[in-house]
Amino acid sequence: MSTIELKKVNKYFDNNHILKDLDLLIEEGDFMTLLGPSGCGKTTTLRVITGLENPEQGIITIGGKEIVNGQVSHFTPPSKRGLNLVFQSYALWPHMTVFDNVAFGLNLQKTSKAETKERVENALEKMRIFNLKDRYPSELSGGQQQRVAIARAIVTEPKILLLDEPLSNLDAKLRLEMRAELKRLHKELGTTIIYVTHDQVEALTLSTKIAVFFEGNLVQVDTPRNIYRHPADIRVADFIGNPKINFVDAKCRYNAGSIQTESELGKLDVPCAQPPSDQVVLAIYPEDIEVSNEPIEDGIVCSVYSILPAGSETLVQLSVQGDLMILAKVIGEMEYTMGKMVWVKFPVSKVNVYDKGTGKLVSREP
Ligand SMILES: Nc1ncnc2c1ncn2[C@@H]1O[C@H](COP(=O)(O)OP(=O)(O)OP(=O)(O)O)[C@@H](O)[C@H]1O
């Protein structure tokens, strides 16, 4: 059993409260990504799971077995936790070749020579570094070392794998290839993976679940789809959007399953439950906004502030009345003219509503 559970885990560095009452369940076979801005506590969470740091309070279990109990200072040594960790800094053995670095875990397990050779070569091929097998770490680039570290971690087919920004040193093309390899690996081996990144695209593409942190607080744990489409907190919505989600302040009045909002976008009827106050923020996804050079029914008039073509898509920055700027993402190369008037429209059913005071998502009524 490789289910990992953290219950009310608190970690302090000096007087700084770094992890705050952290409750997190990572089920067997999960690809759980810890996501959040720099300094929010992702690596610290990984380190308390592995035993490189001890929390002052809280309980951690692996497969139901208590490995940490902060209250009674019970901490199972890292080597006895059955975990396999790959750090951002790769910690390869400098006096061993790539092959020997990767073979190390299999040698410890007394795997036969022939099987070791086959499994190491297989892992090296997966990581596209077979041709480097006789080199020493000092003869490798950062990205190559990173891939050796991943190969070393996966070759023993661990039940639990912890990865801290393992792709951070790779160029864009290689990162994409390695993401695909990690995803296949997770499926093939059924390994439980805990993955740390601040790259939201990586989190969305790889994970079965994402845990989003802000300042030591776990704000939302959910599937990538729900994290993207229904961020529970406006900070998550702000962090996850790429390009950034549009936020529009609005005053509202609730009536039977929807709110009538008044904002710089004019008057809109947005389906949602009753918000706690009459001040809300509307979150509109750039890809939901349709931009037309011709007038469209119920279209909102804007002027084109800037156009950012990016090959397969075009980002259009639009100036609405007042100071409001919104961003639309249009698929394909579209012809717009800076300074010209356009009409925009979006489905109100796809707009998320946040309470302005608490920043919490106001859910739809069932
Ligand atoms: N050993 C330490 N001593 C003191 N403070 C620490 C220590 N390790 C981490 N911190 C602090 O704890 C906070 C959380 O750090 P952590 O490394 O967990 O963040 P992170 O979310 O992984 O960030 P990043 O994405 O930048 O790696 C930061 O403010 C950091 O400065």
Atom of ligand 1 nearest to the CA of 45: 18
Closest CA to 162 of 202, 193, 205: 193
Pocket of ligand 1 (CB under 6 A): 13, 18, 36, 38-44, 198
Residue nearest to atom 16 of ligand 1 (CA): 41
Residue nearest to atom 17 of ligand 1 (CA): 43
CB 149 within 8 Å of CB 143 = no
Domain ranges within the chain, ordered by starting residue? 4-232, 243-362
pLDDT tens for 299-347 read: 999 999 999 988 889 999 999 987 899 999 998 777 889 999 999 999 9
List the structure tokens of 236: 């998550």
Ligand 1 centroid to Cα of residue 315, in Å, is 35
Ligand 1 centroid to Cα of residue 175, in Å, is 24
Q: Cα–Cα distances in Å, from 53 out to 41, 156, 255, 310?
A: 12, 25, 51, 44
pLDDT tens for 257-277 read: 999 999 999 999 999 999 999
Ligand 1 centroid to Cα of residue 43, in Å, is 7
Residue 85 has pLDDT above 80, yes or no: no
Q: Name the residue of 10, 12, 15, 18 whose CB sits within 8 Å of the most ligand 1 atoms, as the mutation to test its pocket.
A: 18
Closest CA to 158 of 187, 109, 191: 191
Closest CA to 265 of 307, 323, 317, 314: 323
Residue nearest to atom 28 of ligand 1 (CA): 39
CB 34 within 8 Å of CB 194 = yes
Comparing 121-125, 171-175, 230-234, 244-248, the range with the smallest average pLDDT is 171-175
Strand ranges of the sheet holding 31-35, from the earlier edge strand across to the other edge: 84-86, 160-164, 192-197, 31-35, 209-214, 217-222
Per-residue pLDDT, averaged over 161-190, amounts to: 87
Using DSSP, state whether 251 is helix, strand or coil: strand
What percent of the chain is modeled with pLDDT above 70? 98
Q: Name the residue of 6, 10, 13 whose CB sits within 8 Å of the most ligand 1 atoms, as the mutation to test its pocket.
A: 13
CATH for the stretch 4-232 = 3.40.50.300
Fold designation for 243-362: OB fold (Dihydrolipoamide Acetyltransferase, E2P) (2.40.50)
ipTM: 0.96
* Residue matched to tokens 């050079």: 293
